[in-house]
Amino acid sequence: MKSALQSAARAVLVASILAGAATAQALPQAPQAVAAHAISPGRMDRVGQVLQTYVDQGRIAGAVVQIQQDGREVYSVTVGWRDKEGKSPMAKDTIFRIASQSKALTSVAIMMLSEDGKLLLSDPIGKYLPEWSKTTVAVANPDGGYSVVPAKRPITIRDLLTHTSGISYGYGLGEQAWKDAGITGWYFADRNEPVSAVVARMAALPMAAQPGEAFVYGYSTDILGVIVEKVSGKTLDAFLTERLIQPLGMKDTSFYLPRDKAGRLAAVYAAGEGGLRRADSSGQGHYLDGPRIAFSGGAGLLSTAPDYSRFLEMLRRGGELDGRRYLSRKSVELMTSNHLNIPYDPGKGFGLGFSIRTDVGKAGEPGSQGEFGWGGAYHSSYWVDPAEGLTVVYMTQLMPAGDIDDHGKLRTLIYQALE
């Protein structure tokens, strides 16, 4: 009896010790969970301090940064000038040409139509744009020059979303044919014709690669914009406004600038050997004084840091914001998964509209696996880091940007401030 009591006592003591040890081990973990999505405000202030040095050195005219964490704004800063010559300081509501940041909204529009049952990502684009039913590709000849051969298969909507369609911005072996057709470069704001008319003419030109065989950056998202128009029966402007821009409260996002907002548009600057200079009129005035006919899904929108932050927050939350659902959680998961099985940047892949970080070490810069983002020709940039609850928007207007390293510095400065 005594032996049984002693055994029971020892069992209770051992259980007590193990429970205490488990509790002791668990205690240090609780503060870590709380601090996982926290920042040091003092350390985050380095972002503005460093960006101001770029202004002082004459490497950028001005910039806006807006950072949200878990849906709340944790840092924003404005530096420099919206219009240096006009002595107009940069402001949080400054309007920027976001160029290829437009691609994310157009890609979301395609996913919305997929969820509406109007199309499949596997559909050949010729189903909606018949002139694209059969395409050709420029292939190098062993003795120089090139031949034009039939595409091995039809281009699909998914090819367009992942930039594996083989369609460039008019560059590659068949470049001269594209130049002769008057179709090169991403800029549409000066065109006195709809994007659909230009896209229809593209179909007869030789593509830069076979569908699915290479990552080729080009007109793919502009073609997606035309498909949105064809399937919805609305202009891309109207579709985006009704389904995304207005419901999200993106009050300063549009393809062309309303006259009463002209004073809020940032001037474009160019980096050169002599330092910063105001860019020529080709990048300045068409969003205000141009024909206002071409709605470029690939590079045509104007926006602000607060507007674009709302759009990114909707994606970070899996397609929902303020009680309204724009996309299903599974559609956002599909968009932010890597779809490439071909060579791309180290540590990165590409989803349906964004670059995807697949390996932090191979990428060689601070970030998180699963992070997604992109940028624009005017040197603006954005990313979403779900693991850290972050959305980051960096707006500036610099084209060409030269050898400036502000993007890398910005990323390092943000991640060094995370607790």
Using the Cα atoms of residue 219, residue 224, residue 225 and residue 231 in order, give the sign of their dihedral.
positive
CA distance 381 to 384: 11
What pLDDT is recorded for position 282?
53
Q: What is the DSSP string of 202-241?
A: HTTSEESS-TTSS---STHHHHHHHHHHHHHSS-HHHHHI
The per-residue pLDDT for 55 is 98
Residue pLDDT, tens place only, 78-122: 999 999 999 999 999 999 999 999 999 999 999 999 999 999 999
Q: DSSP string of 269-318? A: EEEETTEEEE--GGGTSHHHHS------TTT--EE-HHHHHHHHHHHHTT
Q: What is the pLDDT of residue 281?
A: 61
Tell me the C-alpha distance between 269 and 72, whole Å. Answer: 32
What does the alpha-carbon distance between residue 84 and residue 201 come to, in Å, rounded to a whole number? Answer: 40
Instruction: Give the residue-averaged pLDDT of 243-268.
Output: 97
| pLDDT tens, position by position, 29-76 | 433 434 468 999 999 999 999 999 999 999 999 999 999 999 999 999
Query: Hey, what amino acid is at 40?
Result: S
Fill in the amino acid letter for 157.
I
Specify the pairing of strand 302-303 against strand 62-69: unpaired
CA atoms within 13 A on the CB side of 6: 3
pLDDT of residue 37: 85
Most confident of 7-11, 16-20, 115-119: 115-119
pLDDT score, position 166: 98
pLDDT at 274 over 90: no
Is 0.75 topped by the overall pTM? yes
- Contact predicate 395/380, CB 8 Å: yes
**280 confidence band (pLDDT: 50, 70, 90):** confident
Identify the residue whose tokens are 């081990």: 25
Mean pLDDT in residue range 23-30: 40
Least Cα distance to 375 among 357, 358, 396, 390 occurs for 396
Residue 9 has pLDDT above 60, yes or no: no
**Is the preceding omega at residue 154 within 30 degrees of 0, hence cis?**
no
Whether 146 contacts 166, CB under 8 Å: no
- Residue-level pLDDT at 28: 42
> What pLDDT is recorded for position 283?
60
Q: For 64, phi and psi rounded to 5 degrees?
A: -130, 135
Q: Return d(Cα 229, Cα 239) in angstroms, integer.
A: 8
Mean pLDDT of all residues in the chain? 92
